[in-house]
Amino acid sequence: MDAYKKAGVDITAGYRLVDALKELTQNDALGSFGGMFPLELGTYDEPVLVAGTDGVGTKLLVAAQAKQNAQVGVDLVAMCVNDILAQGAKPLFFLDYLGTGHLEEKKATEILRGIVAGVKEAGAVLLGGETAEMPDMYEHGRYDLAGFAVGIADKKKLLTAQNTKEGDVLLGLAANGLHSNGFSLVRDILFKQNGFSLDEVLPGCQTDLRHELLKPTRIYVKSVYPLVEAGLVHAIAHITGGGLVENVARILPDGLAAEIDLAAWQVPAIMQDLQKLGQLSFADMTQTFNLGLGLVVAVDPSMAAEVKGQLEQAGERVYQVGRVMPGSKQVKIRGEL
């Protein structure tokens, strides 16, 4: 073990991290070769497991620079469980992967604290994970995260593009800032082109860039899944990479299109500032950022008011942002930024 430590890998630090994770989760089973989840299928006619994986992207570089790493743990969970939710599935369990050049226990524990918080918010279980210390792979202070979520749904209740109907109302659920998308562009505009520091406040924002950029991705499971279970939702678009245009298009079947009205909600100030500073086109904005909407939900027009009310009661900010109409799977965005 001394030889391995001289090569840059501290196995005992990994053991201590597992112990810290056991304490955070109150789960002594963590650290086994594989995690086990008791799967009860009694309430499902045709149970289907839905799996998804994602990461946090270069937002991690901002977190490392700011020395605030718990938020990206929440981001990691959110990116995965929101995708599972968009399929109409209830997240069951989550696993994480942390790769780093040198295992800094304090930083790793902070990341795991965020992951544990996110998993709890999603109503799931942290089943296990992997921490890999690779000194020749990552520069000092750098790390990467990947997450893996598994959920369950009844086959007949899965949400697909075929569920979307002509005339459906599109409801947009407010995002918590940028979430975890477009950060290579964000970093290029703010830090490379304009030389901002994390302590600075952009003209339209109320907090400094450290806090503005590291707002964690919102987890929508607890507010939205009960509506899915009740059959009140036709389809869900998780607005991630590709922005509104690409992701809303994913819930459109052949023969239908979507029209979205930008005047229906307020685009966050951080995104307006980025557009001005980076001289971004309308297409750049609509195909990169969520523009303030984390989810777009298609519902029957007769149920739109009820669904909106239930989401608001669950703590969401909800806007009626558009409708589904005949077309060729295109997403038309009306208005100006």
Residues 108 and 246 in one domain: no
Whether 103 and 201 map to the same domain: the answer is no
Residue identified by tokens 């304009």 is 194
- Structural domain of 135: 2-34+45-155
Residues 83 and 183 in one domain: no
Q: How many domains does the chain have?
A: 2
Q: Show the tokens assigned to 152.
A: 């369950």
Q: Which residues of the chain have pLDDT under 70?
A: 1-15, 17-33
Q: Which helix (H) or strand (E) holds 58?
A: none
Closest Cα to residue 297, out of 169, 129, 151? 169
Instruction: Give the per-residue pLDDT at 41.
Output: 80
Same domain, 291 and 171: yes
Domain boundary among 91, 124, 155: 155
CATH of residue 284's domain is 3.90.650.10
Q: Is residue 267 part of a domain?
A: yes
Q: Please check whether residue 273 is in contact with residue 190, taking contact to mean a CB–CB distance below 8 angstroms.
A: no
Residues 147, 169 within the same domain: no
Residues 180 and 264 grouped into a single domain: yes
Last residue of a domain, one of 104, 120, 155: 155
Q: Are residues 148 and 57 in the same domain?
A: yes
Query: Can you give the pTM of this predicted structure?
Result: 0.91
Residues in the chain: 337
Domain boundary among 155, 185, 208: 155
128 and 19 in a common domain:
yes
Residue 28 is predicted with a pLDDT of: 60
